Amino acid sequence: MKTVLLLDDARSIRSVYAEVIRQAGFDAQTASSAEEGLQYIVDHGTPDLIVTDINMPGISGLEFCKRVRHVAKHTPIIVMSALSDKGMVAEAKTVGVQGWMLKPVEPEYFLNKLRSVLGEIQALSS
């Protein structure tokens, strides 16, 4: 079973999308901050996919992505954000972010994006 690590400081966002992930047959792990997400990786290893908010208190989602790249160079990362900042999107791509979704994200679109990115990674490793 593929594991998806979902980071968002909003409990309601984590709850809704974690349930969408679980209903699709994936293992959903959540973190309310980048610090928690990094600790999850230290404690449990790298998940198959990471979905992170970009604006969080403490370490930003973008900084989280940069730090993840030091320990998990090939783990796919998708960013969810209420912001559509072209500069931030470009910077996220430089650290290997595979996707950007604008909040609010429809559950069906969210799931299709996850499946698409996981499918691309699986095809590359075959």
User: What is the CB neighbour count within 10 angstroms for residue 10?
Assistant: 12
Answer for the pair 117, 49: CB distance below 8 angstroms, yes or no.
yes
Kindly give the pairing relationship between strand 49-53 and strand 27-31. unpaired
pTM: 0.91
Q: Using one digit for the tens of pLDDT, what is the confidence trace for 67-101?
A: 999 888 889 999 998 877 777 778 888 888 888 89
Task: Give the whole-angstrom CA distance, residue 89 versus residue 100.
Answer: 7
98-126 pLDDT tens trace? 888 998 999 999 999 999 998 865 544 44
In the chain the domains, ranked by start, together with CATH numbers, are: 3-125 (3.40.50.2300)
Strand ranges inside the chain, DSSP E = 3-7, 27-31, 49-53, 77-81, 99-102
